[in-house]
Structures are given as C-alpha cells and as structure tokens.
Amino acid sequence: MEEGKKRMAVLVGCNYHNTRNELHGCINDVLTMRETLVTRFGFQLSHVELLTDEPGSLVMPTGANIKKALDRMVDQAEPGDVLFFHYSGHGTKIPSVKPHHPFSQDEAIVPCDFNLITDIDFRQLVDRIPKGANFTILSDSCHSGGLIDKEKEQIGPSSVNFTSTTFPSQKPKMIPFEAIQQHLSSLTSINTSDIGTHLLVHFGGDASLKFRLPPTALDWFESLRSDAGILLSGCQANETSADMNPMMTGEKAYGAFSNAVQTVFKQQSGKLSNKEVVMLARKALQAQHFEQHPCLYCSDENVDATFLWQPKGPSA
C-alpha cells in the first residue's frame, strides 16, 4: 500500500475570548501543530485547514464550520491518504441518548458557539474513510477518552497513581454539562432539561447526529471492528485536561497534552508508533506532575502503526 499519498489536516483551536470559559493556549497549540505537520510530517500548508476563534477570524470554529471542514477532508480521502484532526478546546460529558444506557454519559467537544460535536459525529466520519486510508484525531480537551463512539480502547485508564500538582496558571479544559445547558436555555428561552431539544431548536440541521436521529438509529453505526479511526485523547473519559497560562514567566500559553506531544517530537527524531506517542506523552506529563493520562483508541493493527505514517523526507 502506498502510504501517505495525500496528507490533509483540520486544526481547531478555541480560546473562547472574553467569556467565563476563556482559555489561553488552544490557538497556540494548533499553530504549533501546523508548523510540525509541515516540517516533520510532510503536509503541504495548502492541505492544512486552520480554524480558530481569534478575534477577526474570517471563519470561526462553530460546530457547523468544524463539521464542514471535516466533511470536506473526508470527501477527498482516497486509499493511502493520511487524515488528521487536532482539536484544542473545551470538552464535556452529556447524558447518553442510547437505549438501554439511561445513566451513562457520552463525550463531546464544545465549539465556540456551543453546538456540540459528539462521539456519534466522529464515528460517522470514521465510517466514511475509504479502506487503506487512516484518520487520526488528537483531542486536547477534557473527557476526550472515547470521543470516537465504539472505538476499541488500547491504552486506557491508568492504574498508576502519582503526586499531582495544581499550578496557579492551570485551568481545566471542561465546561460542565449544567453550564452548557444553562447557556443553551438562554438562547432558546425553552424551559426543558433536554439538551437535544435546545440544540435542535437553535441549530436545526447543523446539530449533532446524536440528537437528529432517533435513539434506536444510533445502533446502525458500526460497532467495534477494524477501521481507520485512531484517537489520541488528552486524558481519560473521567479526567480533565489542563490549559496552562504561564504569563508570570513570560512563556506562551499551551495545552498540557498538546505541549507534551510536541516535547515527544522534539526528543524523538525518528518514527514513532501511535502507542509510543501516547506512552511518551504520559511520561512527559507525569514528569511535570499533571494528573491526566492520555489514552489510545484504535484497531489492533493501528496500535503499533507509525503515527501519521511519517515520511522519510522532511517535506512532501
């Protein structure tokens, strides 16, 4: 198989400027990743789409715009292609709408307009990837473990405990479900606790598939099987990911997981497997006393596959 015939990426950084949910390092994370993709992984700049909520951005990272960018990338995919999505921003957990799971919760990312993108949306994208291509998602957000619905857990919850440190400049990349519900209620003026109702009323056809399909239809999506999806999550499903804003030292703000991955790339010049990237990022975070454990979700054959099928040359 020809590896990496075409390399495409969508990078999304949400800092939520001038809101109570403001973060500081997310745009820096994806700008750094864009440079890394070009200089190390052979991506052409024209094939890397960047969406940030920087004031003045022409295309804001709303739920609809992020999904349109991902759809465009997936629609162009052919066997041998490498697809990559890096998200740095808030995550959340929402009540499951699946039958027989009344008390469970599902994972979602929080675009700048709160139009949630859920694990079902990412599952639907992965199921559209042609055989022989792969789709790697790196999510630096809270509760990001399990962000591809039904993807097989390869490196999961850690049983290792270590001393964590909470820094004054540290903020969790999480918006609680109740806060999202309250915000959406203020937009719709509807008195209901059902988040799906709020999302459908306010965003209509741009709302997540999770809320547009009947609950029984969610079982139509492929269950655990060999597929093209590879998720590197910044933390376990029950953990938070840290956003660091070390202004007092004059350093740039960053997401702890995104920064750990960049540290790994700087320390390791050769090819790395998906498993190695996650395990080395865990070590880097542990050395800095962060209590978050990156995880890997993918098929068995992609555990030891090379991360982003790194090419031999510095550029393509």
Identify how many contiguous H helices and E strands the chain contains and give both numbers.
9, 13
Of the listed 14, 26, 142, 235, which one is catalytic?
142
Q: What stretch of H or E contains 286? A: helix 274-287
Angle at 291 between CA 160 and CA 13, to 5 degrees: 135
Own/partner contacts of 299-304, CB < 8 Å, gap of 24 or more, are: 299/152, 299/225, 299/226, 299/227, 299/229, 300/152, 300/154, 300/226, 301/226, 302/134, 302/230, 302/274, 303/154, 303/273, 303/274, 303/275, 304/273, 304/274, 304/275
Residue 186, Cβ neighbours under 10 Å: how many?
9
CB 173 within 8 A of CB 255: yes
How far is Cα 115 from Cα 141, in angstroms, rounded to an integer?
Answer: 16
Out of 90, 143, 198, 293, which one is annotated catalytic? 90
| 142 belongs to the catalytic site | yes
Q: Which residues are catalytic?
A: 90, 142
